[in-house]
């Protein structure tokens, strides 16, 4: 291994400038004394070069897709096309205020409308809203729609429960709970929903079943039509978590599988950058039952003009300021235009091909808990490593030393010491082979080296237990801790 | 077709061969026939230059703000962002990363987020900030749920003047647990919230939180806000603050706020037709385990060096699932980075000077519009820092604004709730200013306003 990350002895931004006496900000007439800030905000005054150098150095101590294969399962870390970055910064996109009159934003409205129409075809769900700011935000909005729907049906008092499989993303139960539902997990059988168990568990109490397909074990839920039937037979609704849509683009879609409502992550399937943890964009798609409940405004076309329609009496209202994350909608639109029908289908084929290839190779090192035909991602169990005193966490850290990112670890929780690997369609065979080779070196290394990893990054193993036990959450905390340490 | 799926060398054939299958069809045998679809109807792929042409053709139908004298204000602004902000945000080590789950590989983003959190702590006078939420409105929604974890009750009080969008978002956050959002009446002259109303509501023991905004939904400063906490006892106070205003206004933590939320878009983030935005959230140490969202903490590595990691994760959805404090996963990290870079490039004194400049320009505009027959500007007798409310004496705000548009003046936005059945404040306009607003822009607005309001009068 020859990789070395930059290791700058870069001070915190507040240590770059000498402390200076605090002064009062300028007085603004009319502001009463009791509301005036007495001392300027405690923050350094720096030259622009000092600021640029500081954050450039920080950036050099960070992995991104542009520097490293980044196989986080269920995150779909694919290449973020540069052309989208250029387009999103055009004045016609960036320098447009959401409260401008409709006549002056016809371009933005048309982009939104066109993207919605395409996503309706991709999902098989005719009604689309671009308003949610992230996947979990879309889930939450959908659960509010489910709630509003059953309220209108007069069944809300009875339908208090949302069911989900034990492989569900943590956001699913969290979103359902925020929307006022209780949640219950359905046990999986060999990595998929146990249909018999589901049939036993659904009832008039069930408002919704939330499902990711392919699921987080990387498996396609082949009994999806039977699942949909079981859920619908008791009058409940079926929710599609679109985190893993990449694997099935053009093969099937939520509408055909029987889902009533879905969210998509534009920052996964449609390649908008993940931004170090956001922004995202969590599009909502709905069929006939839930369509009327989507957030307002909706974009409508009348003749050749586009308009924002607020006249949706059943709508849940707003879930965010203004509209969706337009900057990301535009990037996704450019991505779709670049691929076209065949390109989108190619995405599914190639991502699944990459995944099965890597699974077969990496499966030589660690057991694969479920069936071997996987979709866009696969799961390995690091449990055998425990015999030599090594854990999945050590393996993940050792992979970082190879200059590649680790897979998602310890999820899904039904697999002991899980690693969840997703290598999207933009990873070349050369990069796959390099990753597999790095994995082989990492797993064959000595326990001592695995425990000592990482050694090639800007820091060695980070003490996360201490971070939680003695929380230091801001500069202020650091100052207070330093002052306390000085007091005998 | 784009070059983004690597197969120029025919490498897919090698991958298939390694798996011993003739085509990728063999990889989809787990999708039942009845669930298959045919064509989606998406159209053919375009070359990159064609994509650029097509998107530019659509964007050309927009009239960006530079085309107008713009006085759009409110929580979202079009203030200038120094080029340095985009230079950092465009570093692909930052923008192509994801949530820093592997701390050692992500110290850059973790440190930047820690600096962002620290800045919001300094601005608000509270102890802990999270690493961002979606926008100001959802941050207020999370604050509502946060308050309910700290205090019993079913009523959450907000100024009746709160922008309708925020009210709607809050009502959604309240609806899940069956809580109620209730408007606090305001004084018709000053726009100040009725403290007696708050006092008597709190006395009924069913209020679990109170939110006040600075500036308020009318753009004005409510002088009663610092007294609010003394009426609440242990009922949590949420202050929704414009971050720029905190460069000159007292830190809300100093007058008793338990939570400070805000919209961070004005700090280096382009308006982009409404997103991405940035939700700000800070609270006190003793409540941190009830806080929503990601939090970065300082710790050490095995060699004792300063290092950073996501922390207090047992609050979060991936660990706690249905009992998590929030469903937040992806947030707005890159926008948080823009926020801290913006504030650091401009500097604390620069921010205060900027706010002071906006206040001066706003006064010039208000006195100009105040002299126009048929307009009341500012509508409320209360201090302001940049935004303020104008009221038309005839017709509606929309009619007036339409006429201004003909003169290439974006005269602000109507405060009315556009949903059918809602009639609130159809004659009120929120007017804003930026550092780019010139004396000439202001004169143009005043002149256009005279003709516009006169014309509305004639047609009415």
Collapsed DSSP state (helix, strand, coil) of residue B279: strand
Q: Alpha carbon of B459 to those of A168, B396, B447, B454: distances in Å?
A: 60, 12, 19, 9
Q: Is A142 on the interface with B (CB under 8 A)?
A: no
For residue A412, say if its preceding peptide bond is cis, omega within 30 degrees of 0.
yes
- Kindly report the nearest CA distance between residue A287 and chain B, in angstroms: 16
Q: Is residue A126 part of a domain?
A: yes
The size of the A-B interface in CB pairs under 8 A is 685
Q: Which residue has the tokens 């059918």?
A: B420
Predicted confidence band at B9 (pLDDT cuts at 50, 70, 90)? confident
Tell me, what's the pLDDT at B60? 98
CA distance linking residue B191 with residue B201, whole number of Å: 19
Residue B112 shares a structural domain with residue B134: yes
Q: A171 Cβ partners below 8 Å, 6+ apart?
A: A135, A136, A139, B317, B318, B327, B329
443-472 of A, contacting B, C-beta below 8 A? 454, 457-464, 466-468, 470-472
> Which residues, 6 or more positions from B441, have their beta carbon under 8 angstroms from its beta carbon?
B69, B71
Residue B154 maps to a domain: yes
pLDDT for the residue B2: 58
Inside any domain, residue B74 = no
Give CA separation, B219 vs A354, A459, B244, B255, B292, in Å: 54, 46, 13, 20, 28
What is the count of structural domains for chain B?
Answer: 2
N-to-C CA span, chain B:
57
**A145 in a domain, yes or no?**
yes
Mean pLDDT taken over chain B: 96
User: What are B245-293's pLDDT values in tens digits?
Assistant: 999 999 999 999 999 999 999 999 999 999 999 999 999 999 999 999 9
**A388 by DSSP, 3-state: which?**
helix
Confidence of residue B459 (pLDDT cuts 50, 70, 90): low
A55, A228, A436, best to mutate vs chain B, most B CBs in 10 Å: A55
Q: Is B20 part of any domain?
A: no
**B333 and B378 share one domain:** no
Residue B31 lies in a domain: no
The per-residue pLDDT for B457 is 73
What is the per-residue DSSP string for B378-395?
Answer: SSSSS-BSS-EEEEESSS
ipTM for the complex?
A: 0.98
Phi, psi (5° rounding) for residue B410? -90, 100
Burial class (CB in 10 A: 0-12, 13-18, 19+), B106: buried
From A1-5, A210-214, A288-292, the region with the lowest mean pLDDT: A1-5
B229 with B259, same domain: the answer is: yes
The more confidently predicted of residues B457 and A241 is A241
Residue B30: inside a domain: no
Q: What is the pLDDT of residues A56-97, one digit of tens each?
A: 999 999 999 999 999 999 999 999 999 999 999 999 999 999
What pLDDT is recorded for position A29?
87
Contact B330 A396 (CB under 8 A): no
What's the domain range around B434?
A: 348-459
Residue A287 within any structural domain of the chain:
yes
Domain membership flag for residue A140: yes
CATH of the domain at B438: 3.90.1150.10
User: Is B294 inside any structural domain?
Assistant: yes
B62, B56 in Cβ contact below 8 A?
A: no
Classify residue B359: in a domain, yes or no: yes
Cα separation, A135 vs A172, in Å, equals 10
Task: Kindly tell me the number of DSSP H helices and DSSP E strands found in chain B.
Answer: 14, 15
- For residue B337, the chain A residues in CB contact (below 8 A) are 55, 276
Contact B271 A95 (CB under 8 A): yes
**Lowest mean pLDDT: which of A40-44, A119-123, A432-436?**
A40-44
Q: Residue B409 in 3-state DSSP? A: strand
Q: Quick one: which of A404, A405, A385 has its CA closest to B102?
A: A405
Average confidence (pLDDT) over B155-170: 97
Tens digits of residue pLDDT in B307-342: 999 999 989 888 889 999 999 999 999 999 999 999
Residue B424 has pLDDT above 90, yes or no: no
Query: Which CATH number belongs to the domain containing residue B139 in this structure?
Result: 3.40.640.10
Would you state the structure tokens that stand for residue B383, as one six-digit string?
A: 């201090």
Same domain, B258 and B397: no
- Say if residue B274 is in the same domain as residue B301: yes
- The yes-or-no verdict on residue B423 having pLDDT over 70 is no
Is A64 within 8 Å of B96 when comparing Cβ atoms?
A: yes
Q: Name the one residue in this structure whose structure tokens are 């949590």.
A: B236
Q: Which residue among B64, B176, B352 places its CB closest to the CB of A95?
A: B64
Same domain, B156 and B268: yes
Of residues B316 and B89, which shows the higher confidence score?
A: B89
Task: Give the integer Cα–Cα distance in Å for A236 and A259.
Answer: 11
Rg for chain B (alpha carbons), in Å? Answer: 25
- Examine the fold and report which residue of B345, B366, B400 is the final residue of a domain before the chain moves on: B345
pLDDT tens-digit readout, B99-120: 999 999 999 999 999 999 999 9
Instruction: Please tell me whether residues B340 and B352 are part of one structural domain.
Output: no
The pLDDT of residue B3 = 85
Tally of domains in chain A: 1
């Amino acid at each position: 291994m020859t990789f070395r990350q930059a290791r700058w002895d870069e001070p915190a931004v507040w240590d770059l400038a000498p402390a200076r006496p605090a002064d009062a900000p300028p007085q603004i007439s009319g502001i009463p004394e009791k509301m005036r800030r007495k001392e300027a905000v405690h923050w350094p005054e720096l030259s622009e070069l000092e600021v640029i150098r500081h954050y450039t150095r920080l950036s050099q101590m960070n992995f991104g897709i542009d520097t490293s294969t980044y196989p986080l399962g269920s995150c779909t870390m694919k290449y973020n096309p540069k052309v989208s970055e250029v387009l999103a910064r055009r004045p016609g996109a960036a320098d447009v205020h959401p409260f401008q009159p409709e006549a002056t934003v016809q371009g933005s409205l048309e982009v939104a409308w066109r993207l919605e129409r395409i996503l309706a075809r991709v999902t098989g769900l005719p009604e689309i809203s671009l308003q949610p700011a992230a996947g979990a935000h879309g889930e939450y909005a959908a659960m509010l729609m489910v709630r509003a729907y059953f309220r209108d049906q007069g069944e809300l008092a009875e339908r208090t429960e949302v069911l989900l499989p034990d492989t569900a993303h943590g956001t699913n139960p969290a979103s359902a709970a925020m929307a006022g539902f209780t949640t219950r997990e359905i046990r999986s059988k060999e990595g998929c929903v146990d249909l018999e168990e589901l049939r036993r568990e659904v009832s008039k109490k069930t408002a919704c079943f939330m499902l990711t397909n392919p699921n987080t074990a990387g498996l396609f839920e082949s009994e999806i039509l039977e699942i949909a039937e079981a859920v619908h037979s008791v009058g409940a609704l079926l929710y599609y978590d679109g985190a893993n849509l990449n694997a099935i683009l053009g093969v099937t879609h939520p509408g055909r599988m029987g889902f009533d409502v879905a969210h998509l992550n534009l920052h996964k399937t449609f390649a908008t950058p993940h931004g170090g943890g956001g922004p995202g964009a969590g599009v909502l798609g709905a069929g006939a039952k839930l369509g009327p409940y989507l957030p307002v405004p909706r974009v409508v076309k009348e003749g050749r003009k586009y308009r924002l329609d607020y006249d949706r009496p059943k709508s849940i209202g707003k879930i965010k300021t203004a509209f969706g994350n337009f900057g990301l909608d535009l990037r996704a639109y450019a991505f779709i235009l670049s691929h076209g029908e065949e390109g989108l289908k190619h995405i599914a084929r190639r991502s699944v091909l990459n995944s099965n290839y890597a699974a077969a190779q990496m499966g030589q090192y660690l057991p694969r808990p479920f069936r071997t035909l996987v979709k866009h991602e696969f799961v390995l169990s690091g449990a055998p490593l425990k015999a030599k005193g090594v854990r999945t966490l050590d393996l993940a850290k050792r992979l970082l030393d190879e200059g590649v990112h680790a897979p998602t670890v310890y999820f899904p929780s039904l697999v002991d010491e899980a690693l969840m690997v997703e290598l999207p369609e933009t990873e070349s065979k050369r990069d796959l082979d390099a990753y597999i080779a790095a994995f082989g070196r990492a797993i064959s290394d000595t326990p001592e080296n695995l425990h000592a990893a990482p050694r090639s990054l800007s820091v060695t193993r980070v003490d996360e237990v201490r971070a939680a036990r003695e929380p230091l959450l801001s500069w202020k905390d650091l100052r207070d801790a330093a002052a306390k340490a000085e007091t005998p | 077709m784009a070059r983004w799926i690597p197969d120029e060398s025919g490498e897919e054939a090698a991958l298939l061969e390694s798996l011993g299958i003739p085509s990728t069809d063999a990889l989809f045998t787990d999708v039942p026939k009845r669930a298959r679809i045919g064509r989606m109807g998406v159209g053919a792929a375009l070359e990159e230059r064609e994509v650029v042409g097509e998107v530019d053709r659509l964007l050309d139908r927009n009239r960006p703000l530079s085309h107008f004298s713009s006085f759009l204000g409110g929580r979202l602004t079009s203030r200038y962002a120094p080029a340095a902000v985009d230079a950092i945000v465009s570093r692909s080590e930052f923008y192509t990363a994801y949530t820093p789950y592997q701390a050692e590989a992500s110290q850059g983003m973790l440190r930047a987020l820690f600096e962002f959190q620290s800045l919001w702590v300094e601005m608000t006078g509270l102890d802990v900030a999270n690493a961002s939420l979606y926008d100001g409105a959802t941050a207020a929604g999370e604050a509502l749920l946060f308050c309910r974890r700290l205090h019993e009750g079913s009523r959450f009080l907000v100024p009746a003047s709160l922008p309708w969008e925020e009210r709607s978002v809050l009502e959604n956050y309240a609806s899940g647990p069956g809580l109620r959002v209730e408007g606090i009446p305001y004084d018709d002259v000053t726009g100040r919230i009725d403290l007696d109303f708050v006092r008597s509501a709190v006395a009924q023991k069913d209020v679990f939180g109170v939110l006040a905004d600075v500036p308020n939904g009318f753009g004005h400063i409510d002088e009663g806000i610092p007294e609010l906490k003394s009426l609440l006892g242990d009922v949590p106070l949420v202050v929704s603050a414009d971050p720029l205003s905190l460069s000159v206004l007292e830190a809300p933590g100093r007058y008793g706020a338990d939570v400070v939320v805000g919209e961070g878009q004005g700090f280096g983030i382009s308006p982009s037709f409404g997103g991405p935005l940035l939700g700000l959230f800070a609270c006190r140490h003793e409540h941190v385990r009830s806080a929503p969202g990601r939090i970065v903490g300082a710790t050490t590595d095995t060699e004792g060096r300063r290092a950073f990691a996501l922390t207090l994760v047992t609050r979060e959805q991936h660990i706690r699932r249905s009992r998590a404090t929030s469903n937040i996963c992806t947030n707005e990290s890159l926008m948080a980075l823009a926020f801290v870079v913006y504030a650091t490039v401009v500097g604390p004194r620069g921010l205060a000077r900027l706010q002071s400049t906006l206040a001066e320009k706003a006064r010039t505009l208000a006195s100009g519009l105040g002299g126009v027959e048929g307009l009341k500007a500012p509508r409320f007798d209360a201090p302001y820092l940049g935004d303020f409310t104008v009221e038309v004496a005839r017709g509606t705000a929309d009619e007036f604004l339409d006429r201004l548009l003909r003169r290439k003046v974006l005269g602000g936005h109507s405060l009315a709730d556009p949903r059918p059945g809602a009639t609130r404040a159809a004659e009120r306009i929120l007017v804003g200013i930026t550092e780019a607003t010139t004396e000439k822009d202001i004169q143009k607005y005043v002149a256009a306003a005279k003709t516009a309001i006169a014309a509305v009068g004639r047609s009415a």
